[in-house]
Amino acid sequence: MHDATQCLNCGTPVHLNYCANCGQETRLHVPSAREFIHEFITHYIAVEGKLWRTLKLMLFKPGKLTTEYLAGRRASYIIPLRIFLTFSILFFATMKLSNVDLVNSDAGKTGQEQAARANGATLSGPPAAGSKEEEEARRNGSDLQGLVDYIGPGPVAKMKSVLALPEAQRNKVFAAGFYSYAPYAMLLLMPLFAFYLKLLYLGSGRRYGEHFLFALHTNAFAYLQITLMMLSPWGFLTFLLGVWLVFYLPTAMRRVYGGSRIVTFLRWVVLATLHALSLAVAVLAALVLPMIS
């Protein structure tokens, strides 16, 4: 135990158990494991029910958490960036532990077709002149040369070496790259998501920060919902969670931004399309970066 006469954090003279300047406790000691657990429960679960109030609004009242924040009622809820980061980390951790197959080029093929593809070059030899296989090989070679001209021979050589690995090793490279880069890519998509909203609601008087707040809340919900879908042991429950995931965003948009159902639906279609394209590019980049870096 250490009873300080000056705050060890800011140097202000102290007389009570807490510093009047910065709020740090003056009676200091090395915390025990029990105190760590108590602090976690107190700050994240029990104190004023912040977590439960936040989850209640986010899960069952689309857009309500955003309207509460914009109305100035913020102390009762977890801050938007923290809740987004928490559920995004939970999503990627669940995805990794669930051993989700990120790349399966042989999906839908029979065992014989997969074996033929793996051993085709050995068993069949080079493709016959004028055949469909030769045309495909020629086109792939042309595409590869164009890629070399565009990004340089070094990265392409690395890409070729990765693609030449056995399937199990190649998938490990893809998975390592995905889990290394994808979380950052998804975070970078939030300003872009907010930009799409800004374009869709031009003239509404909404500031970019309001759109960014909405992006954090709705995408945090999406991460949590997809995590629950991955953990769900029942197909029917997974289906219901998926349906709610689809209808959540347009419902939230209408609550926060207003407007008719038809106009909101059209805006939702555009937003969902743009965001899906952005997600595809981000995931592709996360898979390709480990091959060329």
Q: For residues 140 and 143, give the distance between their C-alpha atoms in angstroms, rounded to a whole number.
A: 5
pLDDT top residue among 12 and 105: 12
Q: Supply the mean pLDDT for the chain.
A: 79
pLDDT top residue among 47 and 239: 239
- Mean local confidence (pLDDT), 58-68: 96
**210-216 CB contacts, 8 Å cutoff, 24+ apart:** 210/66, 210/70, 213/66, 213/69, 213/70, 213/80, 214/63, 214/66, 214/252, 214/256, 215/190, 215/191, 216/80, 216/81, 216/83, 216/84, 216/190
Residue whose pair of structure tokens reads 């890629």 in the numeric block: 147
Q: How confident is the model at residue 249 (pLDDT cuts 50, 70, 90)?
A: very high
Asked whether residue 241 carries a pLDDT value surpassing 90, the answer given is yes
Predicted confidence at residue 111, as pLDDT, reads 45
pLDDT in tens, 144-172: 445 444 444 566 666 667 667 677 777 77
- 271 within 8 A of 189, measured Cβ to Cβ: no
Q: How confident is the model at residue 101 (pLDDT cuts 50, 70, 90)?
A: low
List, as one string, the DSSP characters of 218-269. HHHHHHHHHHHHHH-S-HHHHHHHHHHHHHHHHHHHHHHH---HHHHHHHHH
Residue whose C-alpha is closest to residue 176's, from 89, 91, 92, 85: 92
Q: What share of the chain is helix, strand, coil (3-state, %, to 5)?
A: 70, 5, 25
DSSP annotation of 25 reads B
SS3 140: helix
pLDDT in tens, 126-140: 445 555 555 554 554
216's tokens: 């954090």
